[in-house]
Structure 1
Amino acid sequence: MAYLGKVYKFDREENFDGFLKSIGLSEEQVQKYLQYKPSSQLVKEGDKYKYISVSSDGTKETVFESGVETDDVVQGGLPIKTTYTVDGNTVTQVVNSAQGSATFKREYNGDELKVTITSSEWDGVAYRYYKA
């Protein structure tokens, strides 16, 4: 788990706009999210993890225990339930809301982080890439 504590900065994305449109965002909201290019960091604190995302909008910290569902709220005030599962160099986040579910699979490989994004409402796949 050499990736713990490393800061990964956004590098590029593929098909992210397709994912955003599939979850019902307006064109204006899609354009805003396409500008979202955060850095991310995962820290382990005892039995829990802290996922830290830093962008021009500020810092968001999410504390979780692997395999335990938590309540959260996304931008726009939509309540969601999220479960993170840590398995070696892969952290899988499953998000459930009234609108459906989405999965964010974060695969850490040295100084690279690949996030694979899928949704129950979409047949496509999006990717976001980060570098430490």
Structure 2
Amino acid sequence: MAESFDRPTAAYQSLRRGGITGRGQCGAIVAGQLLLGEFLGDPDPTGAVTPPLRAAMTRYLERVEDELDRGPSPTLICNDMVAPHGEFMGPARHHFCTAVVGQVAQLVDELLREHGVTHQATPVSLADGSVLG
């Protein structure tokens, strides 16, 4: 996610697999929230929440809840979402998670555009050699 929006990826690595443990919310979803904050938030960490960020975050969370394909999972917790897809490093799980990342990136892009921020996505090379973007 970060790479697609030209952001440094190091901090976002902690979001993998639901905060490394699998027990947290899907890292792609959290990454989407962080990206909205980076693009629409006040650069002053003590500043008030900007109206565009509040509006975009509210809409983002609504759309994630309503539109994200989480499969049969009743929650957005990583372990719950990926459980039906077998081995965590297996191809079925990889396909599922890649699709989730794509959906989240599209939501973020659409919401940023609604707030006047346009960005040309940077293609991302995956471990299997495929390219997103």
TM-score (norm. length: structure 1): 0.30
Q: Flag the structure with higher helix content.
A: 2
Larger radius of gyration: 2
